[in-house]
Amino acid sequence: NIIHLLFIHCIGDTHTSYKRRILICLFYRDFALRLHRVYEDY
């Protein structure tokens, strides 16, 4: 599952601060979900 992989990847990134990491993860998840929906429509 690509969404799961993206989520794990950005949680595992220790270079950024905790709060920033959560925001990035939420953004990634939202983006991935939208992308997934587009793919399902085809």
Q: What is the mean pLDDT of the chain?
A: 73
36: pLDDT confidence band, cut at 50, 70 and 90?
Answer: confident
Q: How much is the pLDDT for 21?
A: 76
**pLDDT reading at 35 higher than 60:** yes
Q: Closest Cα partner for 12 from 27, 36, 24, 33?
A: 24
More confidently predicted of 15 and 23: 23
Contact 28, 7 (CB under 8 A): yes
Domain ranges of the chain: 2-41
Q: Is 6 exposed, middle or buried (0-12, 13-18, 19+ CB in 10 A)?
A: middle
- pTM score: 0.47
26: pLDDT confidence band, cut at 50, 70 and 90?
Answer: confident
Q: How much is the pLDDT for 22?
A: 80
How far apart, in whole angstroms, are the C-alpha atoms of residue 19 and residue 40?
32
